[in-house]
Amino acid sequence: MTKTKKITLLGLLSALAMVLSYIEMLLPPIVTAIPGIKVGLPNIVTVFLLYKFSFKDAFLVSLIRIITVSLLFGNIMTLSYSLAGGIISILLMFLLKKTNLFSTVGVSIAGGVAHNVGQICVAIFITNTLQIGYYMIPLFISGTIAGAVIGLIGALTLRYTKKFKW
Amino acid sequence: MQTKKIRNDLILVSIFLLFSLIIFLIFKSNSKKGDFATVSINGEITNSYPLDKNTETVIKSGENFENVLVIENGEAFIKSANCRDKICVHHRKISKVGETIVCLPHKTVVEITDK
């Protein structure tokens, strides 16, 4: 793939990830009282890039998405939470993918859970209370379910784009 | 189908579930029944209500900001409030040291303490 093509593609996928992030914001909050419960739609792009291209590409697009979305629609707090969760998530996904022991869905599940755990850790650190740790329990569960769904969509996308001539 | 990978996925998920169970148990065993419900507004402690006396007070945290704190049977909860979300009202009753009910728009925190 030529460099220009790659740059264009990554740009498009970054935009896609940003739109997915925005759509996620519009969705009605699932399960009140637990802040931070997310479906993780932008991770479809992350998973796709991780498997179709390289870790560097996935990391770059994720970073761009996190920074721009936080600047556009959030504040410094949104940025730090998203960054913490996002980086831990993608690192874990890359490591698990390398072991070749898990399927795309499994990797995505780990990514979803890691994202939530990362955010909770930041929350515990910032508010200086351990009580927030209670949230880990429902977030483990929601992270697993969300990760599974996202992983499934990502796997399907990968399968259907297998024949693409980039 | 790569059944081996799927089996590993399920193992991974069970590890996660185990983890969350362990964390839950750790939190549960570390909780102690508290003695006071301490109210703080905007970070400053305003009042401490003993949990062994049933009371009902209105916390005024600003112009037209009210939360009704009720202490009953050693537990504290917010019966009503005029904030928009009423997350504080829907919160379950608290009684263990460290537990809190927060009303973010009113910057009011009710925390269980032992002093």
pLDDT (tens digit per residue) in B10-68: 898 898 888 888 888 887 777 778 888 999 888 788 889 998 889 898 988 888 889 99
Any B CB within 8 A of A131 CB: yes
Q: Is a pLDDT exceeding 60 seen at residue B1?
A: no
Nearest chain B residue to A117 by CA: give it: B20
Residues with Cβ within 8 Å of residue B82, at least 6 apart in sequence: B64, B65, B66
Nearest chain A residue to B10 by CA: give it: A106
Q: Quote the mean pLDDT of chain A.
A: 86
Q: CA-CA distance, A35 to A31, in Å (whole number)? A: 9
More confident residue, B36 or A123: B36
Angle formed by the axes of helices A55-73 and A3-26, nearest 10°: 40
pLDDT tens-place string over residues A51-71: 999 999 999 999 999 999 999
Residue B33 per-residue DSSP state: B
3-state helix, strand, coil in chain A (%, to 5): 80, 0, 20
High-pLDDT (> 70) share of chain A, %: 93
Q: Is a pLDDT exceeding 80 seen at residue A127?
A: no
Q: Is a pLDDT exceeding 70 seen at residue A32?
A: no
pTM above 0.90, yes or no: no
How far does A49 lie from chain B, in Å, by closest CA?
20
Residues with Cβ within 8 Å of residue B38, at least 6 apart in sequence: B45, B47, B48, B49, B110, B111, B112, B113
More confident residue, A6 or A38: A6
The pLDDT assigned to A30 comes to 63
pLDDT tens-place string over residues B71-106: 988 899 999 998 888 888 988 898 888 888 888 888
Nearest chain B residue to A137 by CA: give it: B20
Q: Which helix (H) or strand (E) holds B61?
A: strand B55-62
* Chosen from A93, A116, A130, A131 to mutate, greatest number of chain B CBs within 10 A: A131
Q: Do B98 and A130 touch (CB under 8 A)?
A: yes
Nearest CB among A102, A134, A137 relative to B5 is that of: A102
Any A CB within 8 A of B5 CB: yes
Joined together, the tokens standing for residue B42 give 């905007």
The pLDDT assigned to A61 comes to 95
